[in-house]
């Protein structure tokens, strides 16, 4: 059973639908007691950083999430905003992040090169490692991105995937039991299915 944390930042239904299609049980919940009993977590999310942290706090979710991830060390996958919340901070907001990974979120700078922001659409990835979450990922994998801020890991060893948009940024990380992806696997066709299947089976 995979527990998808609902903290009112976007629709989690498509993650659940994809997991169901792949044959994995999941539940969407905002109840801290259910999160406290979780064996595997997904922290999704679309929207602004501060609003995300505020909603987690108001929902009483931060202590149980910290206990699950830092003490019980269960596998957790952050998606898009969820990934950003796992970091220490974001240029998008004032609040502190969960700090599960030594990283920060910074903004794309459009500059003079006609780079459109948000970075929206399908883009490729380059794998820095090839196990767990990204095992057997086809070389030509493409994922669906929608974001104006991206994650910068402070430790090179934590970087799992990189993507090129204007420059190279970190599109997936792993630090022990904490995984994060910038793109939306639940909207990324068979490539996203591969990745979520890996999370369910190999993480």
Partner 1 sequence: MTSVRLIARLDIKGPNLIKGVHLEGLRVMGDPQEHARRYYEQGADELIYMDIVASLYGRSKLTEIVRRAAHDVFVPMTVGGGIRNVDDVRDLLRAGADKVAINTAVVRRPELITEVARRFGSQCMVLSIEAKRQAPGRWEVYTDCGRERSGVDALEWARRGVDLGAGEILVTSIDREGTRSGFDIELTRAVATAVRVPVIASGGYGEPKHLLEVIQDGAADAVAFADALHYGRAAIGELREHAQRAGINVRMT
**How deeply is 90 buried, as exposed, middle or buried, from its count of CB atoms within 10 A (0-12, 13-18, 19+)?**
buried
Alpha helices in the chain (DSSP H): 13-22, 32-36, 49-58, 62-66, 81-85, 189-202
Residue 154, exposed/middle/buried by CB under 10 A (0-12, 13-18, 19+)? exposed
Rule CB under 8 A: is residue 123 a binding residue for partner 1?
Answer: yes
Contact letters for partner 1, residues 125-154 (x by CB under 8 A): ---------------x-x-xxx--------
The residue from 67, 80, 147, 203 that is catalytic is 80
x/- contact string, 82-101, with partner 1 (CB under 8 A)?
A: --------------------
- Any contact of residue 62 with partner 1 (CB under 8 A)? no
Active site residues: 80, 184, 186
Q: Given the rule CB under 8 A, which residues bind partner 1?
A: 10-11, 13-14, 17-18, 20-21, 46-48, 110, 114, 116-123, 140, 142, 144-146, 164-165, 184, 186-190, 192-193
């Amino acid at each position: 059973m995979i527990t998808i944390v609902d903290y009112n930042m976007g629709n989690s239904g498509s993650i659940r639908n994809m997991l169901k299609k792949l044959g994995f049980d999941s539940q969407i919940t905002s109840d801290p007691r259910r999160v406290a009993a979780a064996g595997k977590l997904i922290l999704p999310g679309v929207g602004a950083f501060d609003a995300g942290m505020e909603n987690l706090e108001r929902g009483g979710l931060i202590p149980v999430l910290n206990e699950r991830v830092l003490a019980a060390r269960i596998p957790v996958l952050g998606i898009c905003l969820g990934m950003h919340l796992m970091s220490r901070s974001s240029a998008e907001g004032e609040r502190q992040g969960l700090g599960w990974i030594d990283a920060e979120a910074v903004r794309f700078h459009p500059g003079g090169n006609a780079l459109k922001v948000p970075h929206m659409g399908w883009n490729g990835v380059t794998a820095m490692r090839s196990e767990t979450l990204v095992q057997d990922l086809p070389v030509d994998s493409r994922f669906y991105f929608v974001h104006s801020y991206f994650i910068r890991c402070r430790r090179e060893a934590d970087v799992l995937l990189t993507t090129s948009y204007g420059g190279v940024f970190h599109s997936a990380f792993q630090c022990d039991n904490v995984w994060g992806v910038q793109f939306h696997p639940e909207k990324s066709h068979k490539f996203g299915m591969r990745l979520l299947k890996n999370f369910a089976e190999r993480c």
